[in-house]
Chains A and B, each alone.
Chain A
């Protein structure tokens, strides 16, 4: 397979952030997106953990891409990912114990995050190391942005705070408890998806109108 197929490193990086945003466009990695976004600290820890695992998995898979057998590749991907997830899990348990308790089983569930497996499959197992690393960086940034947007809405409405700092004081704001409970996650993501879709169609309509005028 030619090494020069597919997008270049720069395109991969830019694509990951908005045009192919893992959460809003590709709808990948929904478990952590819904489960750990009721406050910003948890969401950012999850984004950092996923970024580390994605970066390492992309690097390793890219380095061994010529040795992979087609029918065993998914197994190799998941075992590589599982190894790095164990690193992250032990690291969090050692240095950030309360956060590790709060995230609970969602750290090991990074193993089956479709985002990482799909990046290994689409990019890292086919392209150069530089491209794979840029892809991991772009995708992690896009994932972190997506998590941050949902966590911002849920934490401000649910707790009246952002990163633990009080934004809406209790004297005039009654926190919406439903936003920190499971249904709030579904509502927020559903409405934000609708918003993203609306912005996208509006932008497409505007550019096509401009193209028609010119």
Chain B
């Protein structure tokens, strides 16, 4: 039980800091550049993203697990009920992109209506950001990460999906708030005219990304520290923290000397 909690903790650290969605995977760059002019706006956007990403991830985990993965229980049951051969594994994962985008768009809509009806002050503070979130790549990226982990086949549970969503949102918030603080200071600096605006913001983001590269390896260290002799959990922990995902910026095969 404790080991499971530690694995979850390491997954959270890995997602929020090391593989930060904005600075490592470049998802959610549009709000990162657009809304990061003032710290309070950035914080509002960050909380809105955490809110929506959690709901969208839980929904898409449910859909993926029950309907989309190869041999999913509900799909298999429907297939059997309509006289299909029960030994065939039905694989609906081709529909995943359409389902995810539908889930995201409708959960944004739902959250917006719910917040407007029951929490008017909250709606006032981050209501304007909610419609923008539908096109925030970070949400879809988190859903795709869940799909990848589930089809990876080593038991990605709802709790792991929840931790992934919360830490991804927290990582986004950390990055956008730091960026907003830096840009508030930057307004008082004498920036060369052509670089003013997005140019200097991107260069500052690059330096921030360099700083965040300092976190690489923190998760394996923590793992060795907290789970020194856990042979059987080591494999699953390695997979779920995704220290080096297959699609990390890597040299193309033909480019190596």
Residues of chain A having any CB pair with chain B under 8 Å: 27-28, 30-31, 34-35, 38-39, 41-42, 74-75, 78-79, 82-83, 85-86, 89-90, 98, 101-106, 108-109, 111-112, 114, 117, 155, 159, 161, 164, 166, 170, 178, 180-187, 189-191, 193-195, 197-198, 201
| Interface band, chain B | 35 or more
Segment touching A, from B54-62, B191-199, B217-225: B191-199
Assess the A75–B255 pair: CB atoms within 8 A: no
Cβ-defined contact, A90 with B94, below 8 A = yes
Known: A34-B26, A108-B97. A102 touches B209 (CB 8 A): no
* Contact yes or no, A30 B30, CB < 8 A: yes
Q: Are B209 and A105 in contact (CB under 8 A)?
A: no
Contacts of B203 in A (CB 8 A): 186-187, 190-191
Least CB distance, B45 to chain A, in whole angstroms: 16
Stretch of B67-75, B81-89, B137-145, B157-165 on the interface side? B137-145
Question: Is there an interface contact between B199 and A39, defined as CB atoms closer than 8 Å?
Answer: no
Q: Chain A: which residue is nearest B247 at the CB level?
A: A104
Q: How far in angstroms is the closest Cβ of chain A from B27?
A: 6
A-B pairs, top 4 by smallest CB distance, nearest first, are A104-B247, A186-B206, A190-B202, A198-B194
Q: Which residues of B contact A159 (CB under 8 A)?
A: 251, 255
A90 to B141, CA, bound (A): 18
Residues of B within 8 A of A (CB): 23-30, 33, 94-95, 97-98, 101-102, 105, 134-137, 140-141, 144-145, 148, 192-195, 198-203, 205-207, 209-210, 213, 245-247, 249-255, 257
Residues of A contacting B: mostly: helix
Whole-angstrom CA separation of A75 from B203 in the bound complex: 34
Contact A170 B257 (CB under 8 A): yes
Query: Could you say which residues of chain A place their CB within 8 Å of the CB of B250?
Result: 102
A98 to B255, CA, bound (A): 13
Given known contacts A30-B26, A83-B98, A187-B202, what 7 new A-B pairs fall within 8 Å (CB)? A31-B26, A74-B134, A85-B97, A109-B140, A112-B134, A190-B199, A191-B203
Flag if A186 contacts B105 (CB, 8 Å).
Answer: no
Known A31-B27, A183-B207, A197-B199; contact A112-B255, beta-carbon cutoff 8 A: no
User: Once bound together, how far apart are the Cα atoms of A35 and B23, in whole Å?
Assistant: 10
Q: List 12 A-B contacts (CB under 8 A).
A: A30-B26, A31-B27, A39-B255, A79-B98, A104-B247, A109-B144, A159-B255, A170-B257, A182-B23, A190-B198, A190-B203, A195-B194
